Structure 1
Amino acid sequence: MADDMLAALVRPDKVHKRVYTDPAIFDLEMERIFGQAWIYVGHASQVPKPGDYWTTLIGREPVVMVRDRDGAIRVLYNRCPHKGAKLVADGCGHAGPLFRCPYHAWTFALDGRLRGVPFRQGYADTGFSLDDPQFSMRPVARIAERRGFVFCSLAEDGPGLEEYLGGALASIDNFADRAPEGEVEVAGGVMRVMQHSNWKIFFENLNDTGHPQATHESSFAAARRTVREKLGGKTPFQLHIIEGNGEPNSFWESLELRCYDHGHSYMDAIFNAPTDAISLEYRGQLEAAYGVERAQAILSMNRHNTIIYPSCSPHTGFQQLRVIRPISIDRTLVEIFTFRLKGTSDAFFQRTISYTNIVNSPSSTVMVDDVEVYRRCQEGMASDGGDWISQHRMAGHDTPFEGGLLGAGISEVPMRNQFRAWASYMGEAVA
């Protein structure tokens, strides 16, 4: 598809439905976006010891993140160069000192270099050499780590990770800073949801302040009724984080939406932790580690969803990270990870687990609302009912700043900003 045809699909206040429904466009996205951008692959805590590995996808490319014997983290294509078999099964595990292919037992060092092949005599006088790079596991082009969060790019050239993240970098730093010991670790496993919709629909919804009152009406109305009729007006944490979706229009209008180059954005927090014994203990731990002034500065950066386009969304306030894996034009795998702040109590971590279970787990009364409307969007866009998807809300009223755009709380600027990046990646920027 010609670049000028792609550019015609994105306009300042609307996009053509083909960007969500055309498999040829999805194929180009895997090449031009996921094959170029910095993509989140995992956290250093998932591979704590040499030989530990974690497998995932960068676009369609299967990769394995592994801790090398020297302590460095490597990210390699999960492919044996002999017959092309995936060297390790999906998930996590321990490879020991070497990777060993399950097909013909070729072995590789943890940095991917070929170390041995059976039947060595069969390779005599063939030009085969253990030192030839074509027979080693191929490393990804670039890898960078920030506070334990590991990103990769399949492109040899392009901006470095910090330049690429811009203002979204502060969300990663704040995530780690919130730990009294300055480090976080993946804990509590991973939950996975297969959504029957295009990957961009999920990302657009994260900072969409126009949907909570409508989409989540059933869940926040039930929470409020329970508080009123069963709990005498007292709101436990579990219901507090549900009923917040029912705030009045004035609340959503007052939020800040800040967008950065390359498609990143964040919105102000909409759920705040209650002032209870757990919160007071945590604040005391943070103040003991950093001092009162620094602890206050850390907690005052109170963001809801940060979008790190096009691969993940950290939520610093409740220590979770959602990662997207586009599968096809109408299938998206979303992985939900919970993190432990090192130096905090088990009770504090259990509250993190509660937030994830209640708001973002497959059995959540909140997520099910979102997943249903994502599916309806995908099905509706496949119909002949119209060709264009509106992004008109507050269009033309965003405030530019160096490196991005600032929008009022109800603006659809995060969506427009994502498509500004999309158009740039896909071939030709749209004014």
Structure 2
Amino acid sequence: MLAIPLKKGYENTGLENTDAVKGLAPVANVKIYREFIFARLNDTGESFEAFFGDSLSSIDNMIDRSPEGKLVLEGAPLRYMHNCNWKMLVENQTDTCHPMVAHESSAGTAVSVWEKEQAKGGPKPMAVEVYAPFMAPYEFFEGMGIRVWPHGHGHTGVTTSIHADYSAVPGYFDQMVEAYGEERARAILGENRHNTVYFPHIMIKGPIQTMRVFRPLAADRTLVESYTFRLVGAPDMLFERTLMYNRLINAPTSIVGHDDLEVYERAQKGLASDALEWVNVQRLYEPGERHDVTETANGTSERQMRNQFAAWVHYMTLDMAEPARVEAAE
């Protein structure tokens, strides 16, 4: 009642005996996992543990890269509007057949300039280390693998990724060894997952400490928010690389992100055509493929896209009655 303006307008209405006087209803199902806050608005549904399962290992790896086991969210997110459906952005996170093609004019040109500059000597600039792997060949992406988990989650980069060959940061490994021991430190830093998708619309990059949230605003409009984290106790150079990656790849000023944006918008327009009813995501499909299991596959497989859409169908039809069977008339 203290927050209600002109309270006398509610006299004799019984407001004090209603739920409205308590303000917003509290969220009953809240889980704090390693300082990330998760909430389920519905009173029923899968538990946090059941929904995420082993996929939480990607969050663990991102946080464990701090010698103190902590992240700090630094600054406001970069916001980037996309004129396309949100599902396009999510499925693109595990599409490894497009980088060397879609980004040839941006990252490819930058790499060509660097190759000419190499003759002059000097270290490879951090920016080149960030975008050069986008021009890796198909064989690289095939070999790095893809993993799917139940409930639509999955990640690229099982054996290696575009983040695996960054220059060592002086003193960082020694800090990790002191914190975790050498074997554990090598295990943490040797896990270089590319993009981890948490269905329906979150993506994290553990090795580079970024998180993107794809916020649907309309059927053909999606706002992307890109967050950056600092590894507590780690050298500043790691956070410098995080910021550079976010600016070069995920920002409205990006040299790489605009390639993707162009593809998204063209694809969205293409969906308005009546020429083809279906979009094919059958690359490396195997009969009997299931979406309630954890599996690894070829890195250029569209396995995670199918996993994503299987989860989408499941949750969109969860409350629907079983459709009636209609027998064809003889």
| Residue 134 (1) aligns with residue 24 (2) | no
For 1:157-236, what aligned pairs fall within 5 Å after superposition? 157-232=44-119, 235-236=124-125
Equivalences for residues 3-402 of structure 1 within 5 A: 115-129=2-16, 132-135=18-21, 136-232=23-119, 235-268=124-157, 269-276=161-168, 279-396=169-286
Residues 369-393 of structure 1: CA deviation (Å, up to 9, x unaligned): 0111000100011112211101121
Identity %: 38
Mapped partners of 1:323, 1:315: distance in 2: 12
- In structure 2, the residue matched to 1:87 is none
Distance apart, 1:309 and its partner CA: 0.5
* Cα pair 1:181 1:289 within 8 Å, conserved: yes
Q: Tell me the SS of whatever aligns to 2:207.
A: coil
The match for 1:406 among 293, 296, 299 is: 296
Counterpart CA distance in 2 for 1:285 and 1:301 is 17
Q: Which has the higher contact order (CA 8 A, sep 6+)?
A: 2
**As a proportion of its length, which structure holds more helix?**
2
One-letter amino acid of the structure 1 residue matched with residue 144 of structure 2: L
Q: Deviations over 1:133-152 (max 9, x none)?
A: 22311223522121111122
- Give the conservation status (yes or no) of the 8 Å contact 2:133–2:162: yes
The one-letter code matched in structure 2 to 1:144 is: K
Assess if the C-alpha contact under 8 Å between 1:398 and 1:408 holds in 2: no
Looking at structure 2, the residues matched to 225 and 244 of structure 1 have their Cα atoms a distance apart, in angstroms, of 13
Deviation larger for 398-407 or 372-381 = 398-407
**Displacement after TM superposition at 1:283 (Å):** 1.4
Return 5+ residue gaps in structure 2 as ranges.
321-330
Query: Aligned to 1:287, what secondary structure does the other structure show?
Result: helix
Q: Distance in 1 between matches of 2:174 and 2:287?
A: 42
Q: Is the 8 A contact 1:259 1:413 kept in 2?
A: yes
398 and 338 in structure 1: CA distance in 2 versus 1, 3 angstrom threshold: farther
Separation in 1 of the partners of 2:63 and 2:225? 20
Q: Over residues 41-66 of structure 1, what are the superposed CA-to-partner deviations in whole Å (9 max), with x where a residue is unaligned? A: xxxxxxxxxxxxxxxxxxxxxxxxxx
Residue aligned with 1:137, SS: coil
Cα distance in structure 1, aligned partners of 2:165 and 2:72 = 21
Number of residue pairs aligned between Structure 1 and Structure 2:
313
Q: Determine which structure has the larger strand proportion and give its number.
A: 1
Aligned to 1:152, what secondary structure does the other structure show? strand
Q: Which amino acid aligns with 1:226?
A: V
- Please give the alpha-carbon distance, in whole angstroms, between the structure 2 residues aligned to 1:238 and 1:306: 22
| TM superposition shift of 1:181 | 1.1
- How far the C-alpha of 1:247 sits from its partner, in A, is 1.3
What amino acid sits opposite 1:387 in the alignment?
A: E
- Equivalent-residue separation in structure 2 for 1:286 and 1:387 (angstroms): 52
For the Cα contact (< 8 Å) 1:194–1:334, is it kept in 2? yes
Contact 1:398 1:413 in 2 (8 A): no
Shift, 1:296, TM fit: 1.1
Q: For residues 190-217 of structure 1, give each alpha carbon's deviation from its aligned partner in whole angstroms, at most 9, with x where no partner exists.
A: 1001100000000000011111111111
Measured in 2, the distance between the counterparts of 1:119 and 1:243 equals 62
Task: Kindly state the Cα deviation for residue 324 of structure 1 after the two structures are TM-superposed.
Answer: 1.0
CA contact (8 A) 2:248 2:254 kept: yes
Structure 1 residues 118 and 385: alpha-carbon distance in aligned structure 2, compared to 1, 3 A threshold: closer
Question: Which residue of the partner structure matches residue 328 of structure 2?
Answer: none
Using the TM superposition, give the Cα deviation of residue 399 of structure 1 relative to its aligned residue in structure 2, in angstroms.
7.0
